[in-house]
Each structure stands twice: as C-alpha cells, then as structure tokens.
Structure 1
C-alpha cells in the first residue's frame, strides 16, 4: 500500500540498512556468557561475563533491537499504530514522512525530500547505517521506476528458485494449475523427499508477494506439507514451469484515483478432502492491487450463499484494516469502499437484517459485513462472474480467462488496462 501511494504521489523512496543491528539492543534480563576465546582474563579465568548489550544468537536479541529502535523514533516525531507495528509516520503540518521497518532493513518515503534527509541524518547519528540510496531491491523484491510509476517483480528470486530445483531448462506452461483441478490427500505414492517439498513450497509462498496469479496454486500445495505425495510435487513442478515462462512478470503501480474497491469470491465446497470452501479476495487502491488472499474457510458451508457471505465478511474486515492504515497515514478517501460479489443471494443476505431459518447457524462475527453496510461504511455491488477478478484466487481457470485476470491484477509489463470490466 505504501508503494502504491508512493507511485500515486511520485514520492521519493529511500532504503537504509542497519549494520550489526542486533548489537545495538540493550538487555533488560540478566544474561551471562563464558569469556570468549582469546579474551580470557588470566587473573580470573573461571569468571563469566555479564552482558549489557545483546549479541547475535541470543533469543532476546531481536526484541532488544526492536525496542531500542522504536524507542528512538518518538523523539523524532514518529508515531506508530496498532494496525501495523512496523509502520511509523511523522506528520508536521503538510509534511509527511513514512518509515517502514523489517528487522534491520528500512524504507523511508514521504512528500518532502528535505524532511526525509533530516530523518536519515538523525538515524545515522544514533545507529551505524548504510544509506543504499533510492529503493531498488528490498527483501528479494525488485522495485524499479517507470514512466507511469513503479514496477515490482521477483525476477532474480524466481531464477534462483528454478536453479535450486533444476527447472531452468523446463518447458513453460500457460497456467500454474489445470482448470478446476484439485489435489487429493492420498493420491498415489508418498514423495521420497518431503524436506525438499517443504523448502520449495515455502519459497513459492514468499513469491506470492508480487505474484497473486500463483496464490491459489500455492495455497493448494501448501496443504500437504506433512505428508506430500508424488502427485503433489508434480503440481509444484507445474507452478515452476509456469514461472519459467513468466519470470519477468510483476506488479505495475501507477497514479490513479484514490478510491478503494475489492472483489470477493468463494468456490463452494471446492476442496474434495474436507469439502470446505476457498475464499479469494483482491483489494485495489485506485487501479493498484494492494492486498489479496486465497484461503480455505474454517468451517464447511451448507450452501454457496453461505460460502460467498463468509468471503464477503473476510474481505470487509480487510477493508476495515486498510481504511485504518490510510487514516493513520492521513490519506483521505473521499468515497465509500465498494465490494463486488457475483452472488446475488449473498448480497441480499448482507443487506437483510431478518434472521432466516437457513442462516441461523452462521456465526455472529460473520454478520460483521451487514453492520458495515448498515452504517454506510461499505457498499456491496453485484458483478458478473466473467468480471469477477477474484475468481483467479479460488480455482484453476482456463488459459484465456486466467490471462485476462492476470491483466486485471496489473501483472506483466508496466502498462496495463483492465480487461473485461
């Protein structure tokens, strides 16, 4: 979301790295260590050292470093929010500076280059920092400036993964999974290297940060980590073959109207192993996708209406969280968020406060979406199944429809237009 805002307002993006971050943390617990080799005190060889600062390898080190860094930011004028503990904002008048922290990697952006530089100088005076200049490579994600905004990809990450799995010379395929294909729990023989399976699938999970097109396929293979079968690894290899042909794919962020819209979908009883439904949603800030999910529902739904209604509730909660973050960032959203659904019965249920016999079993928290609609904080509208962008997150699709939704997710080159709606 922050990158989408930076693309919209054409904000500068700076990247910092803290050298030996864990050595900056101050310990509050009593921790002792043996005298390190080569630094023993010959007078007291049997004594131990009491640590005042953290060292790498201590279980207290990450928390001590985080407490040290976050305690330094409030005197600089930064505040944080319960919505996201890694996001810090400094707002003085019309000046806005945003800082994102991931362990020892930092992104700083905002609407004032001078204020950003002053923050960097303040941080440098306290910590041993390395100024990496403009943001271009962050946690395996490549960020590049385009004529229209930003382009995010994991090209190098995909290539390294293909090398690791010996799939560099594999034959590409059009889609990451077959249309309407589902994996069975006990299909065939057990895979002889489950550790490798878990490693590759875990790597694919991280790739979904910039590749929502593989989110559903990865969601499927993630369900068999404990006891993978040969057929499950075959599905993993198909995802890798798809990635071989789309290594340069990524997300394009550009300037657009700052409104929020979301698409919510569910595949009713789609999992043949436990008959649970899959929820899929994608949230857009303007034309930029900023949040997406493909996740199995926690209970079995008795109807497609219930499955879609649960998906609406999950998406409404995500929209609430995004609105809180935007409010904290002091980014005004003029219009009410619009949530698109392709099930008329679920939409009717979200508007109708009357308790029906067929919906008495639905948990109270799922009716969260109904409350938001009644308070005019959310607008739910119908969209045809052909224009349901979240369809790609709930099931395998034909190649033509899959590529249409890839374009709708702003995947591929840096220039996109919505297809089909």
Structure 2
C-alpha cells in the first residue's frame, strides 16, 4: 500500500477478509488464502455433500482424450440428466467417464477445504518454472506445456496448455513450454514495473527448466532445427537471454513443481509437489517462508 501511494492516490480500507470467493487471513507470518466456501458451494450445487474424499484430483491412469467417439445413445441420455455443466462450467463432454472424473475431482476438493496457501514474500524478482510432456495426447500426439510464474517467491499465475503443433523431440516441446512461460512472465513484469518503478528497481526475470539441451540451445549459437512455429519460440527465448531480459537455470526433474500440471500423480507425489509449488523449489539457496498448510 505504501508503494502504491507513492504514485497513486489511494484510500486504505483495511485488510480484506473475502475476495472473489477466497477467504483471506493476515498475520505477522504472511497471508493465508483458502477457498472453503467456494468449494462447499460447488459440492452443494452438485448434490455431493457429504462427499467421500479422494487423495488426488485425477483418477490414476485415466485419459479423457482416449474417448473421442460419440457416446452410445443410452449413455448420452443418462448424462443429460447429470449436472455436468455446473461442475465444469461448460458442456465439453457428455461422456460418462468424464462425469466420473468430474465427481472424483470434487471429492478431492472436499478434502482440501481447510488447506490454506501461505504467502510470505522472501525474495525479489520473477521466476518462471516450465515443463513439457512430450506427445501427451494419444489421439494427435501433441504435447502439453505447463508453467508456474512466481512473483517475490510465491505463485501468481499458472497454466497447462496443449501445443498447436506436433513436437518430434523433447527439446522442441520444452522450447515451446519455455516460450509460453516467458510470454506470461513478461506481462507480469510490465505490470509490476509500471506500479513499483519509483519504489523498486526493474524486476529480474529467471526461467527454470529441467532440460539441459534446451538451456544449451538458448545460450549458444545455432538454429532450433525445428519447424517455423517452433523456431519462432526458440528465437524469442534466445533474444531475451542475449539482451539480458532473463536469466535461465536448470532445475532437477524430480523437484520441478510444474510437473503436476501435465499428468496425474500418485497421492505421495501430489503431496510433495503441492508443498513445493508454493515454496519455489530451486537448486539455489532461497529463503522462502511460504507454503501449504492445514487450517482449522
């Protein structure tokens, strides 16, 4: 608030307690964010209170992209009676397997209502963690990009996106994912620098990937060796690195938090990733006091 008041005329209304369905609690240790009311409302609309809790958000070894054909008439009629659109927001599938997956997700959410995200800024700059799952879609073999963007050591934006082109190699898929993360991070940097330019120096941007060949290609001369659409991503990354608009670092695959956005995980893997997603795991020594914790 003090930083904003340097440039803008603002009125301090005190600490918020509710915002867009989120409950906000503030203390000396940081800010706690939870969505118990929002999740409870979703469960109520779907007639799933009480719900049998599940340890993961996705059914293990189930892929919705394998079900591309139209459902049988009897299954289609059954699904029209289900409140599926209320669960996913729009009617993307009318398949029974997708309805089961949606209910499974709600059961997982019912067990996370008291989990809170603790936000406590502990460093400066923007960190982008990206990952790619090569040939993820069995129908067309297009890969999936995921990225987590951190501002001052806690996550502010994340995405999981299917590629528009087919990547033949893991390095190609990682280049596309890295470019997706960089584009979002640049937008965050523009907003932060515009608001805080009189208070803080320009925000530093660091890209973190788990693919050594990708880092090598960005840092050294040469072409991407890929089709035009991918080569554009490659050139954008190389240009950002050469002009010192970003730094780039390696992050081990086993600790990369963005991995949870590309595939279903076991309950133990999910617990580990859920903890690291809000503590900005890197191979550098970072003092970060944010995290995920159980509420009352």
Q: TM-score scaled by structure 2?
A: 0.83
Deviation at 1:139, TM superposition (A): 2.1
Residues 31-50 of structure 1 mapped to structure 2, 5 A cutoff: none
Deviation at 1:402, TM superposition (A): 0.9
Please list every run of 5 or more consecutive structure 1 residues that lacks an aligned counterpart in the other structure.
1-10, 13-88, 98-114, 121-130, 203-221
What secondary structure, in the 3-state scheme, does the structure 2 residue paired with 1:116 have?
coil
**TM-aligned CA distance change 1:416 to 1:321, over 3 Å:** closer
Q: Does 1:141 align with 2:22?
A: yes
1:46 equivalent in structure 2: none
What secondary structure, in the 3-state scheme, does the structure 2 residue paired with 1:311 have?
helix
Measure the CA separation in 1 of the matches of 2:201 and 2:144. Answer: 30
Structure with more contact order per residue of length (Cα contacts < 8 Å, sep ≥ 6): 2
Measure the CA separation in 1 of the matches of 2:159 and 2:201. Answer: 23
CA contact (8 A) 1:336 1:378 kept: yes
Alignment RMSD (CA, Å): 2.6
Residues 389-400 of structure 1 mapped to structure 2, 5 A cutoff: 389-400=257-268
Deviation at 1:250, TM superposition (A): 3.2
2:189 equivalent in structure 1: 323
Measure the CA separation in 2 of the matches of 1:140 and 1:335. Answer: 30
**TM-aligned CA distance change 1:250 to 1:300, over 3 Å:** farther
Deviation at 1:365, TM superposition (A): 3.1
2:285 equivalent in structure 1: none
CA contact (8 A) 1:148 1:255 kept: no
Deviation per CA, 1:54-106: give whole Å up to 9, x if none.
xxxxxxxxxxxxxxxxxxxxxxxxxxxxxxxxxxx966xxx244xxxxxxxxx
Residues 22-421 of structure 1 mapped to structure 2, 5 A cutoff: 95-97=6-8, 116-117=10-11, 134-179=15-60, 181-183=62-64, 184-186=66-68, 189-190=75-76, 192-193=79-80, 196-202=83-89, 225-331=91-197, 332-333=200-201, 336-355=204-223, 358-366=225-233, 367-410=235-278, 416=290
Deviation at 1:406, TM superposition (A): 0.7
Q: Which runs of 4+ in 1 moved over 6 A?
A: none
CA contact (8 A) 1:309 1:349 kept: no
CA contact (8 A) 1:276 1:298 kept: yes
What secondary structure, in the 3-state scheme, does the structure 2 residue paired with 1:199 have?
helix
Please list every run of 5 or more consecutive structure 2 residues that lacks an aligned counterpart in the other structure.
280-288
Aligned length: 274
Q: TM-score scaled by structure 1?
A: 0.60
Measure the CA separation in 2 of the matches of 1:226 and 1:410. Answer: 30
- Bigger Rg over Cα: 1
